[in-house]
Amino acid sequence: MTPRPIDLKALSDAEALPIHDFLNATRAELLPDDPPIPLSERLTSWRNPSPREWSKTFAVYDNERVIGFAEADWESTDQENPDKAWMNLTVTPSLRRQGLGSTLLRTLLEACRADGKQQLFLATNDRIPEGKAFAQQIGAKFGQEEHTNQLLFTDLNRDYLERALRNAPTDQFEIGFYDTDLPEAELEPICRLIEVMNTAPRGDLEFNDFKVTPEDLLDDARQAKINGLERWFLYVRERASGRYAGYTETGFHPNRSHLVNQWGTGVLPEFRGHGLGAWIKSAMIERILRERPR
């Protein structure tokens, strides 16, 4: 079984369907409580990629059915880590540990090397335990263990929420929201604010600090609109200086209106110790409960 190169942008609806079905089956393994992605949503994403996003994609077929999928992606504007890419590789459950993953990996590695990539990052998930065994077998170096937390609003500790809001240092700081579009006059300081995520733990992962540009933020906003994604960006600012001190960001998609994706949350080192992290997280949750109670 030979992996086929796939140009996701050029796929017809009929050609896209087997890959779409395979990815939704994998999604059901990883996120059993979440609904599948509709085909129309995935096609919109595939057919309207960001100009700064590059990828190599391969699939293995059994007749018309996809049984294996591998993809590596990177940003063409990433000057800090130009030799690195992020990889996703999955094989249908009944065919795991039979060599198909290794075949896909070899093909993907050759394609990435041809584009100057020397290091691939991949993540395994304990809901698919074969992934960890595969990573160990191919000699991947363990870099960091991460945890995904899920909050059901029915289980929300409202006492904690109210306490964090009540104890917020509003005499020194103020919070505000930018919804979907960030003001152009604020792009440069927001770039520096988002780069606080470089201080997040990275274990033994070997990559350089990332940089964010105004063009990156504008492109992210364009892609969000194309894909129907609503974003809320909450910032906290020091009153005396007007400097941004921290932020958090969430996203919503109308196809999954009951779900909220929590993205980066960070406070600049010089502003830590004031309870800002608890405040901005709680303020975001309070707004979600008020405006999106469903």
Residues 145-182 pLDDT 10s: 999 999 999 999 999 999 999 999 999 999 999 998 99
Sheet (strand 173-179) strand order: 173-179, 230-238, 244-252, 261-267
- For residue 159, CA distances in Å to 33, 86, 165, 221, 285 come to 27, 40, 10, 35, 13
Instruction: Verify that 160 and 131 share a domain, yes or no.
Output: no
Q: How far is CA 160 from CA 148, 196, 227, 263, 284, in A?
A: 20, 25, 35, 21, 14
Residues 139, 250 contacting (CB under 8 angstroms): no
Range of the domain at 285: 153-291
Beta strands (DSSP E) in the chain are 4-5, 53-62, 65-75, 84-91, 119-122, 173-179, 230-238, 244-252, 261-267
pLDDT of 293 strictly over 90? no
Query: Can you tell me the distance from the alpha carbon of 224 to that of 232, in angstroms, rounded to the nearest whole number?
Result: 11
The residues, any chain, with a CB within 8 Å of residue 188's CB and separated by 6 or more, are 214
For position 270, what pLDDT does the model report?
Answer: 98
- Within this chain, do residues 9 and 98 fall inside the same structural domain, yes or no? yes
Q: What is the pLDDT of residue 180?
A: 81
Number of C-beta neighbours around residue 208 at 10 A: 12
pLDDT digits (tens, 9 = 90+) for 244-274: 999 999 999 999 999 999 999 999 999 999 9
For the chain, what is the mean pLDDT?
A: 96
Could you tell me if residue 145 is inside a domain? no
Domain endpoint, select from 137, 172, 200:
137
State the CATH number of the domain containing residue 80.
3.40.630.30
Q: Do residue 194 and residue 68 come from a single domain?
A: no
In this structure, what are the phi and psi dihedrals at residue 63, rounded to the nearest 5 degrees?
A: 60, -115
**What are the angstrom distances between the C-alpha of 203 and each of 76, 144, 166, 200?**
25, 5, 35, 9
- Both 287 and 160 in one domain: the answer is yes
Sheet architecture: strand order including 4-5? 4-5, 53-62, 65-75, 84-91, 119-122
The one-letter code for the residue type at 116 is G
Read off the tokens for 161. Answer: 């929420």
Would you say residue 191 lies in a domain? yes
Are 43 and 13 contacting, i.e. CB atoms less than 8 angstroms apart? yes
First CA to last CA across the chain, in angstroms? 46
Q: Are residues 217 and 261 in the same domain?
A: yes
Same domain, yes or no, for 8 and 132? yes
CB-CB neighbours of 178 under 10 Å: 17
Q: Is position 147 within any domain? A: no
Write out pLDDT tens, residues 176-210: 999 989 999 999 999 999 999 999 999 999 999 99
Residue 104 within a domain = yes
Number of domains in the chain: 2
Single residue among 137, 165, 180 that ends a domain in this structure: 137
Q: Which of 83, 110, 137 is the last residue of a domain?
A: 137
166 and 271 together in one domain: yes
Same domain, 253 and 201: yes
Co-location of 125 and 93 in the same domain:
yes
167 shares a domain with 46 = no
Residues 213 and 101 in one domain: no
